[in-house]
Chain A
Amino acid sequence: MSLATILNWKSLQAREARLAWALILPTAIIVFGLVIFPAVFSVWVSFHDVGLNNLNDVFNAPFVGFDNYRKVFSDFAFKFQPGQSWGAAVTSVVYSFAATFMTIIVGLIASLLLNRPFRGRGLARAIFLFPYVAPIVSVAFVWRWISDPRPSGVVNDILMNLGLIDLPMAYLATRGLALGIVIFFEAWRYFPFAMLMILARLQAVDSTMYEAAEVDGASTVQKFWHITIPELRYVLGAIFLLRLMWTFNKFDDIFLLTGGGFGTKVLPVLTYEFSFRLFDFGRGAATAMILLIILVIFMAFYVSVVMRNVEEE
């Protein structure tokens, strides 16, 4: 290569890089300004006393050290009090894990249903996606209306006609039951995500393995446990991680279904209440940081222990 071509090539590369920066600059500014800086800034807020009174002069807010964190840890809505209330941290963890497990199991069943050909499969598949595609506000309020404690609430009517309950129940306004219904709702709404990921993987499984197993006289159940599940292991791990993360961060669902009452107060709802009901932004930011720390610790553990084992096998 002659010197001229090298120089020319270099200047071409420099031109490309300049163009790249020109193309990406607006996006980079927005991502920096609306995501990275706010994320760092919220750490700062969590160590300062920020309220409505000093919101227009936020950068001079007084430094309070770990006060906000101390306030959160001693708050009765956050604390774990055996026999009385789980507190937001424990509720969040229980809720996210249970909802994620349920979502994956329902998604697995749904994907097995849709994996074999039958008439109307395309339509069934489209219908199965409805809960995931519909707006959260609509589906949350439909669930509230269906489980309404008034006599016109349809779940109560059906269960009473079947003789399963004697009196109408307030499903979303009963401690314990409310958490169960919310977990149920999560599985109903988010199973299509798991279903689609599992279906894609199922269709890539080598069919000769099933044929070989049949020759060896394996039953359907044996084929499921010894071929399907091992083949799905990696994708199930990925779904678990994503769903857990998103469920843990989720605000809308619980806020709309129960408003965070009756033993369903999770960390995102508590963050909202501190910030936009009490307008104590410092305490809100501290709650959000605690939420993030729990999440990061879990993810680090999961990626380094669970996922590594999957890869090694």
Chain B
Amino acid sequence: MNAEPKNFIAHMTDWISWPRFIFSLVMIFFLTSILFPFYWMVSSSFKTRAEIGGREPVYIPSALRLEAYKELFDPEHESYQEFAANILNTFKVAVPSMVITLTLAVLGSYAIARLRFKGKNFLLNSILMVYLLPGVLLIIPLFAMLAQVGDRVGFEIQDNLSVLVFTYLAQTLPVALYMLTNYFRTIPDEIEQAALIDGCSRMQVIWRVTLPLAVPALISVGIYTFMIAWNEFLYALVFLNDHNMFTMPIKINTIFNDPSPRPHVVMAASTIMTVPIVLLFLSMERFLEEGLTAGGVKG
């Protein structure tokens, strides 16, 4: 090699080959088409109404204007949306869904993975049925049943976040059971047998041996059930009527369908709903990736 300096073009022609060229081209195409919608969501949320409704799109907002966020959070704003209440409602639904699902699923999936009992296969198959049944099919009988029960026992089924949490169990519990059962089966039985021989009861074994070993699975199942409840749309749409009880997805839908269109507000609310989930996913990716193909995100 002589030390003669090469220009940029020469470097490029050295590096480039047809496979590399095609690879880069396709990669750029993928990255832009994935990232552009997310860029457009975040950037639109910082635009003013004038920039949103102008004669042409504004590709880069002139400044980080908080008009849209003010409408969501500032009580002084003329069309204040009380979005903080919607965020709170979403947490009120997602956190209990996660806690109840995890508790029940740990016990249930331990029994399925480790213990022998009659009716196990029937139970497993009916759990898998949830993956086949469409949500719109289940919501009709659920609505009718709960209306009936609520009428007898004396609780409202509309605008009742507890009822919503209860119906979410139908979606989260089968997913959690399926994932946790698979995980418990990978934990060697010998460790538990040793603890049993040392005089631990089954419950002690679960608490002291199995659960500590299953922490990665518990984290990932917990996050998936949280995400299912956080994102859920259809059941919330059916069961919630009062604006004060709306979860984020229903509220965003309502703002979008408002007669005076305000895309920047919709995008601001969407940004608030999306960013935590994407960050959560990125920070926990090594726990979560396996769950994506194991049915963690159904649909």
- Please report A residues at the B interface, Cβ cutoff 8 Å: 13, 16-17, 19-21, 23-24, 26-28, 30-32, 34-39, 41-42, 45, 50, 55-59, 109-110, 113, 118, 124, 126-139, 141-146, 148, 150-154, 157, 188, 192-193, 196-197, 200, 220, 245-246, 248-252, 255-256, 268, 271-272, 275-276, 281, 284-285, 288-289, 291-292, 295
In the complex, A75 Cα to B142 Cα: how many Å? 25
Q: Using Cβ atoms and an 8 Å threshold, which residues of chain B touch A129? A: 281, 285, 289, 292
Residue of B at shortest CB range from A137? B249
Complex contact B151–A56 (CB within 8 A): yes
Complex contact B138–A27 (CB within 8 A): no
Complex contact A17–B292 (CB within 8 A): no
In the complex, A35 Cα to B277 Cα: how many Å? 28
Q: Using Cβ atoms and an 8 Å threshold, which residues of chain A touch B293? A: 193, 196-197, 200
Listed A/B pairs (22) with beta-carbon separation below 8 Å: A13-B116, A16-B116, A20-B111, A20-B115, A24-B108, A26-B108, A30-B170, A34-B167, A34-B169, A41-B145, A50-B144, A136-B233, A137-B252, A142-B267, A145-B41, A145-B263, A154-B57, A192-B292, A246-B298, A268-B136, A285-B140, A288-B136
- CB of A241, distance to nearest CB on chain B (Å): 11
In the complex, A129 Cα to B120 Cα: how many Å? 35
Q: Using Cβ atoms and an 8 Å threshold, which residues of chain A touch B120? A: 20
Do A141 and B145 form a contact, CB below 8 Å, given A126-B285, A135-B274, A151-B55? no
- CB of A144, distance to nearest CB on chain B (Å): 8
Q: Is B104 an interface residue (CB 8 A)?
A: yes
Do A135 and B277 form a contact, CB below 8 Å, given A35-B126, A38-B145, A157-B56? yes
Do A31 and B40 form a contact, CB below 8 Å, given A126-B285, A127-B34? no
Do A281 and B144 form a contact, CB below 8 Å, given A137-B270, A145-B40? yes
Q: Using Cβ atoms and an 8 Å threshold, which residues of chain A touch B53? A: 150, 152
Complex contact A35–B170 (CB within 8 A): yes
Chain B 118-151 near chain A by CB (<8 Å), digits 1 or 0: 1010010011011111111111111111011001
Residue of B at shortest CB range from A41? B141
In the complex, A272 Cα to B139 Cα: how many Å? 9
Q: Using Cβ atoms and an 8 Å threshold, which residues of chain B touch A252? A: 233-234, 299
Other contacts beyond A141-B252, A141-B267: 4, CB < 8 A: A19-B115, A113-B27, A129-B285, A245-B132
Complex contact B136–A26 (CB within 8 A): no
Q: Using Cβ atoms and an 8 Å threshold, which residues of chain B touch A251? A: 134-136, 234
Q: Using Cβ atoms and an 8 Å threshold, which residues of chain A touch B30? A: 109-110, 113, 128
Complex contact A134–B38 (CB within 8 A): yes
Do A55 and B147 form a contact, CB below 8 Å, given A17-B115, A27-B108, A148-B263? yes
In the complex, A131 Cα to B258 Cα: how many Å? 26
In the complex, A34 Cα to B167 Cα: how many Å? 7
Complex contact B173–A31 (CB within 8 A): yes
In the complex, A268 Cα to B34 Cα: how many Å? 27
In the complex, A101 Cα to B151 Cα: how many Å? 46
Q: Using Cβ atoms and an 8 Å threshold, which residues of chain B touch A281? A: 140, 143-144
- CB of B38, distance to nearest CB on chain A (Å): 6
Q: Is B46 an interface residue (CB 8 A)?
A: no
Q: Using Cβ atoms and an 8 Å threshold, which residues of chain B touch A255? A: 233
In the complex, A281 Cα to B137 Cα: how many Å? 11
Complex contact B117–A21 (CB within 8 A): yes
- CB of A138, distance to nearest CB on chain B (Å): 4
In the complex, A131 Cα to B278 Cα: how many Å? 10
Q: Using Cβ atoms and an 8 Å threshold, which residues of chain A touch B31? A: 124, 127
Q: Using Cβ atoms and an 8 Å threshold, which residues of chain A touch B202? A: 16, 19
In the complex, A178 Cα to B78 Cα: how many Å? 35
In the complex, A121 Cα to B155 Cα: how many Å? 53
Q: Is B231 an interface residue (CB 8 A)?
A: yes
Residue of B at shortest CB range from A16? B115
Do A138 and B273 form a contact, CB below 8 Å, given A27-B173, A152-B55? yes
Complex contact B281–A133 (CB within 8 A): yes
Most buried by A among B111, B142, B238: B111
Complex contact B41–A142 (CB within 8 A): yes
Q: Using Cβ atoms and an 8 Å threshold, which residues of chain A touch B194? A: none
Complex contact A126–B282 (CB within 8 A): yes
In the complex, A276 Cα to B19 Cα: how many Å? 54
Chain B 69-107 near chain A by CB (<8 Å), digits 1 or 0: 000000000000000000000000000000000001101
